[in-house]
Amino acid sequence: MEEERLVFAGIDEAGYGPLLGPLCLGICVLSMPASTAAEAMADGCRLTGHVDFFSLLAEAVTEEARSPDRRTAICDSKRLHDPNKLKPLEESVLTLHAAMTQAVPQTFRALLDEVSLTSPARLARLPWYAGEALTEALPVEALRERCELRGESLAQCLEACGVTLERIRVEPVEVPTFNGLLEEVATKADAELAVIASLLAKMWERYPRLRVVVDRLGARDYYRPMLEQRFPGLQVRTLAEAELLPPLPPLASARSSSTSKAKKKSPGKRSKHAQEEGPPRYSRYRVESPGTAELDVTFATEGERVALPVAVASLYAKYVRDGCMRALNRYWQTQVPSLRPTKGYVQDGRRFLADLEAALGTAAVDRVRAQLVRNR
């Protein structure tokens, strides 16, 4: 009889604050045999029910944003993001993708076809995504061969440790959809939470026994009402609320690919950034349904430090949002060649809109404002 596999997932966002462009929610799902997971679970991770994948996979991954060796950087996308360079973020994402699919996508559209929960055809209802707008060649800055080689190394490490990279997905919530959600809820945080609740339900349907870490939403500590509303009639148990996690365990030092997963690992150092941030807070809940189905969900401050799947989700969410913003900029620059591109953040987004109005007229911008600009 095949041994039970435990399923671990992470959710994180990119684009919560901007005025322009999509809010992207990333999802990463890993699985491994239950017996191996029990051995790999560090003390700090037991509180969230997650394995310390950073230590387990330390031969191939690192939390350091600038890896001095061949390991793949997996950390919060904000630490890899460089306003003038896409390469660090792109290299990590395409390496992960090569490990999962054995290939680096040829175009951004091909990547979306594989990971987007919103079909590119639906995105194409917005003019800046229509036609050939999403067919940008990949990689943009990273080296394909380097991503493929690192992807192969990461895939070998995953296999050696008994870990399966089940799926990585991104939900791009475009401006019209986001504005529609804002009409139904009180705040944009509630709008994001509604999307997260929907993603949890979809994942739980696919994986009946699921453990999820979600990067905590701002200062919010209490999520039971949301879970009870999303899963009416099911029992929601509060396991912890607004608790402090103990100091996170150090990354394991590098191991050779032939090292047995049962062999003891030497402690290494976590990044300076991780050490300075202090212990994160978390709230944990368990949703139970008749039979064996069980959803264990933790909302943790800096969830990308607590659980590697959250960091992967963060990277993919950011990469997809950046690709969408490049398409938006290209569309408007065909109409106003001198227009400076924007990342969509509030101050620069307002500058971008003012430049558009100056070049095309207020009436022209008003015609697409509902598709282009968030209400909050």
Q: What is the pLDDT of residues 188-232, one digit of tens each?
A: 999 999 999 999 999 999 999 999 999 988 778 999 999 999 999
Average pLDDT, the chain: 89
Q: pLDDT tens digits for 50-71? A: 998 998 999 999 998 877 778 9
Least confident of 138-152, 180-194, 272-286: 272-286
What is residue 305's predicted lDDT score, i.e. its pLDDT? 87
Q: For the domain 5-335, what is the CATH code?
A: 3.30.420.10
What is residue 252's predicted lDDT score, i.e. its pLDDT? 40
- Matching residue, tokens 């509303």: 229
What is residue 64's predicted lDDT score, i.e. its pLDDT? 85
Contact 251, 56 (CB under 8 A): no
**pLDDT band, residue 277 (cuts 50/70/90):** very low
Per-residue pLDDT at 77 exceeds 80: yes
What is residue 270's predicted lDDT score, i.e. its pLDDT? 39
Query: Rounded distance, CA 151 to CA 267, Å?
Result: 25
What is residue 279's predicted lDDT score, i.e. its pLDDT? 55
Q: Tell me the average pLDDT across 314-336.
A: 98
What is residue 262's predicted lDDT score, i.e. its pLDDT? 35
What is residue 370's predicted lDDT score, i.e. its pLDDT? 95
What is residue 312's predicted lDDT score, i.e. its pLDDT? 98
Query: Rounded distance, CA 142 to CA 146, Å?
Result: 8
**3-state secondary structure at position 12:** strand
What residue spans define the domains of the chain?
A: 5-335
- Is residue 276 packed enough to be buried (19+ CB in 10 Å), middle (13-18) or exposed (0-12)? exposed
What is residue 250's predicted lDDT score, i.e. its pLDDT? 52
What is residue 33's predicted lDDT score, i.e. its pLDDT? 93
Q: pLDDT tens digits for 104-138? A: 999 999 999 999 999 998 999 999 999 999 999 99
Residue 180 amino acid letter? G
Per-residue pLDDT at 249 exceeds 80: no
**3-state secondary structure at position 292:** coil
**pLDDT band, residue 278 (cuts 50/70/90):** very low
**pLDDT band, residue 19 (cuts 50/70/90):** very high
